[in-house]
Amino acid sequence: LTQDELKKIAAYKAVEFVESGMVLGLGTGSTAKHAVDRIGELLRQGKLKNIVGIPTSKMTHEQAVSLGIPLSDLNEHPVVDLAIDGADEVDPHLNLVKGRGGSLLREKMVEGACKKFVVIVDESKLVKYLGGSGLAMPVEIIPFCWKFTAKRLQDLFEDAGCSAALRIEKGEPFVTDNGNYIVNLFFKKDIGDLKAASDAILRIAGVVEHGMFLGMATTVIVAGELGVTVKNR
Ligand code: DER
């Protein structure tokens, strides 16, 4: 099975949790895309009714519009029944790294407002500890004096061998849906106490939000070569 087929299997499994009448958080990324497609298909077939979608990015908003999924926002629906979204890393406690697609702020707002947050991943996303993949841990910051903020973030995690880099696309700083920049943090070692790390990051003026989703996932669906496993918090 290809990685995308595994993503699709996890996504379709998650959509089994969707019931008619729900207010749904619609995730962002290549895995969540399959879930949104599936929801659109079930609506079209009349197997799902009265769904309202709360998109976590402009990209998902456009996908949902093209599928005819009725949309709203957190102002109208401050409580969301169920969100389905992907992740970049999942640790054994179901803590997540998210945001390599650049949508972490709106994802964290929507998924923080959910009664149930179902995460969908292929098995390549499982790590022993967050940051353990050696890939980016994104932090959304304001553009003003970004270099100053990036350096403060890097210094915060000096002991974990952290390096910080502004996310660049086509030679320019990547700009989020919210008009902010992303600083990617790379770790050589386990950063240890995640809650303390989260608090320290958020205390830096100029930081908007980070990509660690701690204690937020209620269920993680993992699609692997040997089948699908559902882990509940
Ligand atoms: O950027 C994001 O938060 C995405 O949800 C990411 O975490 C997962 O993206 P993928 O499904 O394309 O791997």
Give this prediction's pTM: 0.97
What's the pLDDT at 51? Answer: 98
108 C-alpha to center of ligand 1: Å?
12
Model confidence pLDDT, tens digit, residues 104-157: 999 999 999 999 999 999 999 999 999 999 999 999 999 999 999 999 999 999
pLDDT digits (tens, 9 = 90+) for 9-58: 999 999 999 999 999 999 999 999 999 999 999 999 999 999 999 999 99
CB count in 10 Å sphere of residue 33:
20
pLDDT value at residue 70: 98
176 lines ligand 1 (CB under 6 A): no
ipTM above 0.90, yes or no: yes
- What's the confidence (pLDDT) of residue 52? 98
Task: Select from 4, 100, 126, 127 the residue to mutate for testing ligand 1; criterion: most ligand atoms less than 8 Å from CB.
Answer: 100
User: Which residue, judged by its Cα, is nearest atom 4 of ligand 1?
Assistant: 29
Cβ pair 104, 98 in contact under 8 A:
yes
Distances from the Cα of 124 to the Cα of 92, 120, 217, 224, angstroms = 13, 12, 18, 8
CB of 8 shorter than 6 A to ligand 1: no
Cβ–ligand 1 contact at 107 (below 6 Å): yes
Instruction: State the angle between helix axes of 146-156 and 194-202 in degrees (0 to 180), rounded to the nearest 10.
Output: 160
Q: Which residue has the tokens 């969908």?
A: 120
